[in-house]
Structure 1
Amino acid sequence: MPPQEQGLAIAALVVSIASLVACSGLPSIAGVIMGHIAHSKAKRGEAGGQGMALAAIIIGYLGVAIILLLLAGFIFVGILTDWDFD
């Protein structure tokens, strides 16, 4: 049996970790999408790396949650302090 391809799962994990380190939202979303695709392929037996894909999904969602919490915090502070952009 030839080794199963794990490239997409590895890429999803790398993108998710990099987005978490860089604290940027768009790569987190890409990591989540790639992780879901890799996880579904692994569950169907078309590819390997089911654990890495699941880790990429979890880390990607964590990155998205951090970005959303930061955005909500900035909006909340802006409302409380009545920031003017004039």
Structure 2
Amino acid sequence: MELILRLDDKGRILIPVSVRKRLNIKNAVKMSIRDNKLVIEPIEDPLELLASAVVKGTKDIEKEITRLRKVSEKEVFKKVGERWS
């Protein structure tokens, strides 16, 4: 499959619904540059990963998920910053 996509004024690309369904893309993808090409790959839903990390017996699950999300976001931004610097 080959598509021509446009970027909006902020440089964003919209992945068509048909492609998202075909690749089971929910709300996150991994982007990389290989051989001077932009590569976008589906990844596991980060919220599902966070939910699976919540300790049994946690009384406030929403609070625990928010805490884990912040921790994971910091790690992701740290790793992305290391790769792009």
Calculate the TM-score normalised by the size of structure 2.
0.31
Give the helix-richer structure, 1 or 2: 1
Which of the pair has more CA radius of gyration?
1
* TM-score, normalising length: structure 1: 0.30
Q: Which structure's residues are more often strand, by fraction?
A: 2
Q: Relative contact order (C-alpha < 8 Å, sep 6+): which is higher?
A: 1
